[in-house]
Amino acid sequence: MSERTAEPAGVGVAGAGYVGLTTAACLAHLGHRVTCVDTDAAKVTALRAGQVPIAEPGLPELVEQGLSDGGLAFTTDLAALREPALVFLCLPTPTGDRGAPDLGAFDDALAQLRGGLRPGCVVVIKSTVPVGTADRVADTLGVSVVSNPEFLREGHAVHDFLHPDRVVVGARDETAARAVAGLYAGLDAPLLHTTPASAELAKYASNAFLAVKASYVNELAELCERLGADVVDVVRTMGLDNRIGSAFLSPGPGWGGSCLPKDTRALLHTAGESGLDFSVLADAVAANARQCDRVVAKVRHAVTGSAEGSLAGLRLGVLGVTFKAGTDDVRESPALAVAERLAAEGAQLTAYDPGAQADLRLEHVHLVDDPLLVAKDAAGIVVLTDWPQFRDLNWAQLGQLAEQATVVDARNLLDPGELGQAGFAYWGLGRR
């Protein structure tokens, strides 16, 4: 299929966050004329100057390209969405009451768009929204609405948008479905046509399944410790089974980020409302909370030598505060959850993260820009995010700087043998 469409379609995008900005920049790259609207004036000013506020490889280049060839424009004026033939909604849907998504920002945008869209316009919902939302939006706006959920991962946003595993188009109206599918004509990906309800649920179902998989492996790591098995070997064996697959099998301090926690809560809420006790998912969420407790307990034991030891007044070094490697995002970061708990037990925390934004300030964690400072006089070092560069630190030097050369590797990132040679007592998750 061709890289650029013959006739550029006018596309509007509401929201210039991880999803909206990626969608806008990638659609412009595919040859569409895109106007991206965000209510955050500072963000829009920065974007107009080519400054991309989030760390996503390739995104600054696409924004720059779009600005310079005129395919991409930014504004704070929602009236700019009156002209395009297709309008994407990429607005936040954070957790609200009792786990249900808070659709406040989403509905605010709808209220402003009502009566102001061009006749025949197709509204495309990319936000992760509860089943039934597309139909509700169609009733509210009086136009065709297509559910086209987004599956990109943070840190891989541009790559995942341009090389998706699948594109889902949930629509009641065949013409609208074809118009949305046509936007992706330049991509080599399976296209699934379905109903809005199935598309909406497929998004939650995918994230919830990943959460269950990650919780399963975290519980498995605990079992490995009790039985004297090594979780690294166990999951490698499991992952070679094509039906299981090797992705999402790494134990850690719990799964976090802006999506998995809120989307599992939302799906549990939806299931509950329908009368279904979705216990597999509820247990995965509960296991995720326990995982934070486990990592805190392991740090306490490793550093004080006893399960009941006190962390009060001890200096601890923390490697990683983002919710995973490759992103600057700390929303619902399990690393921060563990750090907060350690601080609550009286530990004094110094942290380093190669991806954290320069202006990030944390209440109980002193952020430094040199990993050696993390080790200085520390009673232990805790690895909480899976940044690969932590492997390449000069661990022998870190060990010398520390008061006690103990490392708790809550990501199984480091080589226990190498750490032993560097003089460290090594504590991983589910390792012999």
Ligand X SMILES: O=c1ccn([C@@H]2O[C@H](COP(=O)(O)OP(=O)(O)O[C@H]3O[C@H](CO)[C@@H](O)[C@H](O)[C@H]3O)[C@@H](O)[C@H]2O)c(=O)[nH]1
Ligand Y SMILES: NC(=O)c1ccc[n+]([C@@H]2O[C@H](COP(=O)([O-])OP(=O)(O)OC[C@H]3O[C@@H](n4cnc5c(N)ncnc54)[C@H](O)[C@@H]3O)[C@@H](O)[C@H]2O)c1
Tokens read off for 91: 């607005």
Which H or E element spans position 65? Answer: helix 59-69
Give me the 154-193 binding string for ligand X, x by CB under 6 A, dash otherwise: x---------------------------------------
Strand bridging mode 380-383 / 315-319:
parallel
Question: At CA 322, angle to CA 394 and CA 49, rounded to 5?
Answer: 105
Quickly count: other Cβ atoms within 10 Å of residue 153's Cβ: 15
Sole binder of ligand X in the list 250, 288, 406, 412 (CB under 6 A)? 250
Grouping H, G, I as helix, E, B as strand and the rest as coil, residue 219 is helix
248: partner contacted, choices ligand X, ligand Y, none (Cβ within 5-8 A by kind): ligand X
71: partner contacted, choices ligand Y, ligand X, none (Cβ within 5-8 A by kind): none
Residues contacting residue 286 through CB under 8 Å, at least 6 positions apart: none
Minimum gap (Å) between residue 333 Cβ and ligand X: 7
Position of minimal CB gap to ligand X: 259
Position of minimal CB gap to ligand Y: 17
Quickly count: other Cβ atoms within 10 Å of residue 6's Cβ: 7
Burial 359-398 (b: 16+ CB within 10 A, else e): eeebeebebbeebebbbeebbbbbbbbbbeebeebebeeb
Count of residues interacting with ligand X (CB under 6 A): 22
Residues contacting residue 89 through CB under 8 Å, at least 6 positions apart: 14, 15, 106, 109, 123, 124, 125, 126, 127, 137
Sole binder of ligand X in the list 30, 113, 125, 214 (CB under 6 A)? 214
Question: What ranges make up the beta strands (E) of 191-286?
Answer: 191-194
* Catalytic one of 26, 36, 121, 259: 259
User: Is 292 one of the annotated active-site residues of the chain?
Assistant: no
Minimum gap (Å) between residue 157 Cβ and ligand Y: 7
Tell me the window of 66-74, 117-125, 145-153, 340-348 that interacts with ligand X (CB under 6 A).
Answer: 145-153
Interacting positions 258-277 with ligand X (CB under 6 A): 259-260, 263
Minimum gap (Å) between residue 66 Cβ and ligand X: 22
Tell me the window of 257-265, 270-278, 344-352, 413-421 that interacts with ligand X (CB under 6 A).
Answer: 257-265
Cβ closest to ligand Y, residue 37 vs residue 398: 37
14 within 8 A of 109, measured Cβ to Cβ: yes
Minimum gap (Å) between residue 149 Cβ and ligand X: 8
- Laid out side by side, the sheet with 365-367 consists of 365-367, 348-352, 315-319, 380-383, 406-409, 425-427
Tell me the window of 170-178, 248-256, 277-285, 358-366 that interacts with ligand X (CB under 6 A).
Answer: 248-256
302: partner contacted, choices ligand X, ligand Y, none (Cβ within 5-8 A by kind): none
Cα four-point dihedral sign 421, 427, 430, 432: positive
- CA 421 to mean position of chain CA atoms: 35
Minimum gap (Å) between residue 38 Cβ and ligand X: 19
Give strand pairing partners of 350: 317, 366
Minimum gap (Å) between residue 33 Cβ and ligand X: 26
Cβ closest to ligand Y, residue 15 vs residue 253: 15
Q: Where are the alpha helices (DSSP H) in 240-319?
A: 260-273, 279-304
Residue 87 CA to residue 144 CA, distance in Å, equals 11
Interacting positions 317-356 with ligand X (CB under 6 A): 323-324, 334
Minimum gap (Å) between residue 74 Cβ and ligand X: 23
Cβ closest to ligand Y, residue 81 vs residue 429: 81
The residues of the shown chain that bind ligand Y, judged by CB under 6 A, are 14-20, 37-40, 43, 90-93, 105, 108-109, 127-128, 150, 152, 154, 258-259
Tell me the window of 176-184, 225-233, 249-257, 349-357 that interacts with ligand X (CB under 6 A).
Answer: 249-257
Cβ closest to ligand Y, residue 89 vs residue 143: 89
What are the residue numbers of the active site? Answer: 259
Interacting residues toward ligand X by CB under 6 A: 128, 150-154, 207, 210, 214, 248-250, 252, 255-257, 259-260, 263, 323-324, 334
